[in-house]
Structure 1
Amino acid sequence: MKGKKWTALALTLPLAASLSTGVDAETVHKGKAPTADKNGVFYEVYVNSFYDANKDGHGDLKGLTQKLDYLNDGNSHTKNDLQVNGIWMMPVNPSPSYHKYDVTDYYNIDPQYGNLQDFRKLMKEADKRDVKVIMDLVVNHTSSEHPWFQAALKDKNSKYRDYYIWADKNTDLNEKGSWGQQVWHKAPNGEYFYGTFWEGMPDLNYDNPEVRKEMINVGKFWLKQGVDGFRLDAALHIFKGQTPEGAKKNILWWNEFRDAMKKENPNVYLTGEVWDQPEVVAPYYQSLDSLFNFDLAGKIVSSVKAGNDQGIATAAAATDELFKSYNPNKIDGIFLTNHDQNRVMSELSGDVNKAKSAASILLTLPGNPYIYYGEEIGMTGEKPDELIREPFRWYEGNGIGQTSWETPVYNKGGNGVSVEAQTKQKDSLLNHYREMIRVRQQHEELVKGTLQSISVDSKEVVAYSRTYKGKSISVYHNISNQPVKVSVAAKGNLIFASEKGAKKVKNQLVIPANRTVLIK
């Protein structure tokens, strides 16, 4: 936090928040008919690293607004934007950390990023381009610096005392969490509190109806500011989701939250982080529209890395069937890597052709593809987390808007990994992403179609069909470094090849190395 002074213990109503910032809570989408279509390609952006409008080294909301045309310029006939349909903003609430997953005020914007006026301007500009915006909502825990927690520490009779979970004489203080971590932490007053992630993030107590009411108010507030939905952080951990009782209580809570959000906006889009096996993820589709498919992401990256299919289509079909058993309208949240993982280009050892294959697979599978900022230009990065969230490279060197909040270790510029360089290069990774997103959007089969695995006589080829309203497209990816010939149905024409060299003669299809072809 940058010297933020609190004049009250908490602002528990949207009205109070709006008064404190000088911005009212009128609905930004007023006068615009909301759309029920939740399908689309999303771009995950870490605001701090994206674009710096006020020249302080940090990315900000004004910077993101200024660069919306890079993501989608609102004109389907142009070629220089990515043409994504949605943006997922990592946390933008006030926080003492660089990552902002520990919130100190749920009804405001971190001053480093701007203010509520800037946020609402971003929402309006996104609306003009028909781009949905979802924001990271971190409701499992607060910052230990949040006024609620500070009040709870100072006064056992405070109403905020029961906002958190405290140890009693029967508590096992050596209890470990689901990945072996310490979960009970000693507070400055000598008491112990529960925190799933670390001592700076005390968990909220969702057995307290006041906490649930508060978080519903938070969600409603941001919907009124113009956001289209939420990425729900740590959705598995509201209660102890690895236990049957905890999982049941989690789903009851997310049902309650969903119902309240739908009253505010019937078309709200809710996507959740449940980082576990598909069998654990699936029940949460009872509550949410989308959930991130970590299992499938791993299959895609490991297959492309190895150069042979490790069951991508089979896994996608199996999870599709499983998830639909809980929600026939589910939209799989598909991705390659995200802000908590080593970047996909590092996983692929910097191989641009393999990165193109991974992108092609992602952008032809069912669900909503999520692109982590910088993937489209091949940014690299390995943990610790700061190094997988480095400043986005607009230029080969320095330039207007380039963020500098940290000195990059991986993405230093001068090596072609920038928007500047790749826009000029016809066969660049960036232009491949631009093309594949457009190909997806031109064919309803690729956006909404069902998936069926196609058996081929080569482990180097990932093959499946996508079918919608009786029309099908067959998709073939050669993920090896050598040309491959496979037998296919004699009927059908080659309608797209990611680069030159593909050829179909009767029932024989030749696919160049690391290329994708579509047959219809």
Structure 2
Amino acid sequence: MGTKDHWYENATFYAIDVEAFADGDDDGAGDFEGMTDRLDYLESLGIDCIWLLPFYPSPNRDNGYDVTDYYGVDDRYGTLGDFVEFVREADRRGLRVIVDLVVNHTSDQHPWFRKAREDPDSKYRDYYVWREDPPENPDPHRGPVFPGEEDNIWSYDEEAEAFYYHRFYHFQPDLNTANPDVREEIRKIMGFWLELGVSGFRVDAATLMIDNKGGLESTRLDDPHGVLRDMRHFVERRGDDAILFAEADDAPDRLGDYFGNSHGRISPDADAESGVELGEGDEINVMLNFLLDAYLVLALAEREAEPIREVLDILPVPPEGGQWANFLRNYDELNIGRLPENDQQRVFDAFAPDENMRIYGRGIRRRLAPMLDGDADRVRLAYSLLFSLPGAPLLFYGDEIGMGDDLSLPGRNAVRTPMQWSAGKNGGFSSADPEQLVRPVVSGGEYGYETVNVADQRGDPDSLFQWFSRLNRLRAECPEIGHGDCEVLDADDRAVFAHRMTSDHGRVVAVHNLGEERTEATLELDAEPVRLFGDAAFERVADRIGVESDGGEDGSADEWRFELGRYGFCWVRVEESV
């Protein structure tokens, strides 16, 4: 039975930190004017949807995730008019825009919190979570999100004469999502931005939004996932095929709950005897795939395919209408905390041998290119693998040219350096004096803007940028990957990962060699392969051997041998579209 196509299932998402992308008014900070001027570049890259990190008015103590006004644009980035013009111009080029929705918490400078601390009888007091005395034995599973930077989740406010709850920084008090008034405020915020043309929201800290905040009875949600389900229903009513794209980093056995699937209500299409739900998910449309990311990086560190096979067995299969967003790096730390401890250490040893490269005891604060020692073959192998796996790929700005990091910057800012557009002043990011820049441009060495920049790579047919442009367009031509069934294929070499994606559109097979040595992989294919991507050689080595077909009857297939070079890969189509 065929499935309904959704735009996001085969989209390539591209995350942008507005303040670090392009400076249009030369004040040293990126803005919407500068981003609008760069839309032709994004169109040429072949991406489908832009995800904007927070751009709202903010003290900017946490990269904009400490919001003071959900209905505006920070003065540094322009005006609401500039934002609308950006969305309009993006739409004209066929590019969608989703925005960060940061409603797990606010800034302590937000008017709601100011009113809450001033007046205990104000309705805003119940917008947050308060206690006269913090618990003596806090839940170890509800500790600070940033260990080493915060040592408590309760902070005392002298004006309110009470402690308030926060899982992030002390200047980011948590909102009480059990309060119906807060839920109504969230709907108003979403409605506002939907009216301005966005295609959805990246829901920040979705796992914490549905938690029993502070462990209090007054904040306990009778139906925790009802928060997300209400948001989804609102977006579907008010948005034109808009989506929820969420950060939900939870235990593997709970991840599927965030997609939703009628929560025990039997679909009209369900099998009456089995009770299997066949309906569409009713919560998050797209979820950031933190688990896959951790295991992919482990596979790259060990140069073996087994971690990929393992994680594909662990991951829940999304219901219809649900999708994973697969990535290798994002704007935060590369979080490997879900790996077993011994595997975490292997990753640290391979990719973050110095303590300065690590953060929070669970993450790596480096970009992928320097993690892989600038090895162009290995970088291409990693992203080819990412784009071929079930889900929708996500790129972080600068990935497409192999940008590096600046480990002299504090915390996660190491990977949030300005985009490198040219070999000119400040890498073409801004004409302001260097000391005025929001953050320094990476300069000198292997990853400096003098060597790694857009202008040089756009003119070079063999550059990483041109390779990504081809990869993005190929991915759009392979809907099997977005909503097909994934089957891992047998390969003798532990370094080889081979898999087949099958849907009504056809079949795509991808073969990747994670190892440094040349190797071969012999696969049984039931149709003649046609090359889509990669330069691995392949040839038929045996005709029509007996195999077990999908229907359980004896079928036949040919054996094909793929010759894979160091970090080699190949995508082939083995069945024409129907």
Report the 3-state secondary structure (helix = DSSP H, G, I; strand = E; otherwise coil) of the residue aligned with 1:151: helix
How big is the shift at 1:423? 2.2
2-structure distance, mates of 1:414, 1:134: 28
CA positional deviation for 1:304: 2.1
Q: Distance in 2 between matches of 1:178 and 1:50?
A: 36
User: Is the aligned partner of 1:518 residue 2:489?
Assistant: no
Aligned to 1:93: 56
Distance 1:101 1:458, change over 3 A: same
Q: Match of 1:477? A: 512
Whole-Å separation in 1 of the counterparts to 2:221 and 2:539: 50
SS at match of 2:105: coil
Residue 349 (structure 1) shift:
3.0
- What is residue 145 of structure 1 aligned with on the other side? 109
Cα separation, 2, equivalents of 1:390 and 1:247: 40
1:447 counterpart = 2:417:
no
Q: CA deviation at 1:198?
A: 1.5
Q: CA deviation at 1:498?
A: 4.6
CA RMSD of aligned residues (A): 2.5
Change (3 A) 1:398 1:302: farther
| d(CA) in 2 for partners of 1:419, 1:301 | 26
Taking the aligned partners of 1:374 and 1:285, their CA distance within structure 2 comes to: 30
Deviation at residue 236 of structure 1 after TM alignment: 0.6
Tell me, yes or no, if the aligned pair for 2:479 and 2:505 is still in contact at 8 Å: no
Could you tell me how far apart the structure 2 residues matched to 1:480 and 1:179 are? 40
Aligned mate of 2:190, from 214, 219, 223: 219
Q: How much has 1:493 moved relative to structure 2? A: 4.2
Inter-partner Cα distance in structure 2 for 1:414 and 1:285: 41
Identify the match of residue 384 of structure 2 among 360, 364, 370: 360
- Equivalent residue pairs, number: 473
Partner in structure 1 of residue 328 of structure 2: 336
* Match among 449, 454, 467 for residue 432 of structure 1: 467
Q: Residue 186 in 1 paired to residue 221 in 2?
A: no
Please say if residues 518 and 564 of structure 2, whose CA atoms lie closer than 8 Å, have aligned partners that are also in contact: yes
Deviation at 1:217, TM superposition (A): 0.4
Unaligned runs of 5+ in 2: 145-151, 261-282, 334-364, 431-436, 542-559
Match of 2:81 among 105, 114, 117: 117
> 3-state SS of the aligned residue for 2:259?
helix
Letter in 2 for 1:256: D
The residue aligned with 1:230 is 201
- Tell me, yes or no, if the aligned pair for 1:281 and 1:291 is still in contact at 8 Å: no
Code of the aligned partner of 1:433:
F
Identity %: 31
- What corresponds to 2:395 in structure 1? 371
Asked if structure 1 preserves the Cα contact closer than 8 Å seen for 2:299 and 2:306, the reply is: yes
CA distance, structure 2, for counterparts of residue 250 and residue 416 of structure 1: 50
Q: CA deviation at 1:263?
A: 1.4
Structure 1 residue 186 displacement after superposition: 1.3
Q: Secondary structure at the match of 1:105?
A: coil
Corresponding residue to 1:303 among 296, 299, 323: 299
Q: CA deviation at 1:310?
A: 2.9
TM-aligned CA deviation for residue 299 of structure 1: 1.6
Note closer, same or farther for the CA distance 1:422–1:481 as it changes in structure 2 (3 Å cut).
farther
* Match of residue 29 from structure 1: none
Match of 1:77 in 2: none
Q: Distance in 2 between matches of 1:410 and 1:339?
A: 20
Quick one: distance in 2 between partners of 1:294 and 1:241? 22
CA offset at residue 518 of structure 1? 1.8
Find 2:421's aligned residue among 394, 401, 405. 394
Letter in 2 for 1:172: P
- Separation in structure 2 between the aligned mates of residue 113 and residue 173 of structure 1, nearest angstrom: 44
Residue 469 of structure 1 aligns with an amino acid whose one-letter code is: D
What is the CA deviation profile of residues 37-66 of structure 1, one whole-angstrom value per residue up to 9, with x for unaligned ones?
A: 222000011111101111111111111111
Measure the CA separation in 1 of the matches of 2:28 and 2:232: 37
Cα 1:470–1:213 change in 2 (3 A) is: closer
Counterpart for residue 19 of structure 1: none
1:159 deviation in Å?
A: 2.2
Residue 150 (structure 1) shift: 1.0
Q: Is the 8 A contact 2:45 2:468 kept in 1?
A: yes
Q: Which residue of 2 aligns with 1:4?
A: none
Is contact 2:424-2:450 (8 Å) kept? no
CA gap of 1:126–1:470, structure 2 versus 1, over 3 A, is closer
Q: Is 1:407 matched with 2:423?
A: no
1:210 aligns with 2:245: no
Q: Structure 1 residue aligned with 2:8, among 38, 46, 54?
A: 38
Alignment partner, residue 148 of structure 2:
none
Distance 2:440 2:497 in 1: 39
Give unmatched runs, 5+ long, in structure 1. 1-34, 73-80
CA distance, structure 2, for counterparts of residue 247 and residue 338 of structure 1: 31
Report what 2:356 is aligned to.
none
TM-score, L = length of structure 2: 0.77
Compared CA separation, residues 161 and 276, structure 1 to 2 (3 A): same
Q: Helix, strand or coil for the counterpart of 2:77?
A: coil
Deviations 1:456-493 (A, max 9, x none): 01111111001111621211011222221111236544
